[in-house]
Amino acid sequence: MEKAKFIWMNGDLVPWDEANVHVLTHTLHYGVGAFEGIRCYKCEDGRSAVFRLREHLMRLWQSCRILGIDCPYDVDPMLDICLETIRANELEECYIRPLVYVAAGQMGLGATSENPIHLSVAVWPWGAYLGDDGLANGIRVCTSTYQRYHVNTFMTKAKACGHYVNSIMASVEAQKAGYQEALLLDVDGYAAEGCGENLFIVRDGKVKTPPIATVLEGITRNSAIDILGDQGVKVVEERFTRDEVYIADEAFFTGTAAEVTPVASLDDRVIGAGKPGPVTKRLQEEYFAIIRGKRPVYSEWLTYL
Ligand SMILES: *Cc1c(COP(=O)(O)O)cnc(C)c1O
């Protein structure tokens, strides 16, 4: 990965290579911690803006609430810390990774309410997560042998560190089998989401996405629903099966990292014409225009540096 200069850790901007934690950091052992993935883009007027920063930090705060740990800062201070970290690194465009973790102290499981809770914010340059070719032409996806977890096993509304064991096993499995991303089904066998992306399909002009019960409530997902609505396309939140994806006209993933990435095939069944369809393309174009500050009606989604 491309390094930046400083990482904000618990009140200080620390040089990148010195941003270390103790090996007995509680979160490192047990996974109770929360993080966010946010992007800052260079806009057409030359300024840089962070996309939906407040919503991401609100979700970080809520993830802590769900996990039962005390988020050390409120949303507003965290917002300032993120902006300060980007400025200190002199980056025009970057990925932003805030992390709230349970620091070292006691090792018992109940230590989440005794040990200090720390915040770190790292930023670094990161291009298209699923590749420029993926954005332009779509990616090859397979149904994972791993399921998304039951709603009472983990907490689907939290973007929690430990949840990513599930995502990483599915992602590595898919890549070893020659695919670019995995689709995870929920415990009832319905399509849920990618390892770090929400799923949409278009069939006979109707757009569907799985309801939020079993998936992370993605901020890009919510943005896509709003943008499509403004384009006169209604999105229905309802369950569907993997074979409905096989026969869909279009499918795409949304996520801060993946942005709007078309799905070209699922389990080697070509979806639609096998290239991005009109609904996907129009959404993608609008999304990229919005994040680059070209759409004043969506300006409240942008926090300028
Ligand atoms: C982060 C994440 C997403 C995408 O959420 P955004 O807010 O759009 O970045 C989707 N699914 C999972 C499991 C995630 O962790």
pLDDT tens per residue across span 116-138 = 999 999 999 998 877 889 999 99
List, for the chain, all residue ranges whose pLDDT scores fall below the cut of 50.
none
* Distance, CA of 240 to CA of 148 (rounded, Å): 15
Q: Are 262 and 137 in contact (CB under 8 A)?
A: yes
Q: Are 209 and 245 in contact (CB under 8 A)?
A: no
Nearest to 265 by CA among 167, 145, 178: 178
Q: How far is ligand 1, taken at its centre, from the CA of residue 255, in Å?
A: 5
> In terms of DSSP bridges, do strands 38-42 and 191-194 run parallel, antiparallel, or are they unpaired?
unpaired
| Known active-site residue 5 | no
CB atoms within 10 A of CB 224: 24
143 phi-psi bin (left φ>0, alpha ψ -120 to 50, beta other):
beta
pLDDT at 127: 83
pLDDT at 142: 98
pLDDT at 137: 95
Q: How far is ligand 1, taken at its centre, from the CA of residue 137, in Å?
A: 22
pLDDT at 117: 98
- pTM for the full predicted model: 0.97
pLDDT at 129: 79
Best of 60, 151, 197, 212 to mutate for ligand 1, by most ligand atoms within 8 A of CB?
197
Q: How far is ligand 1, taken at its centre, from the CA of residue 40, in Å?
A: 16
pLDDT at 51: 98
Q: What residues line ligand 1, using a CB cutoff of 6 Å? A: 37, 159, 167, 193, 196-198, 216, 218-221, 254-256
Per-residue pLDDT tens for 187-202?
Answer: 999 999 999 999 999 9
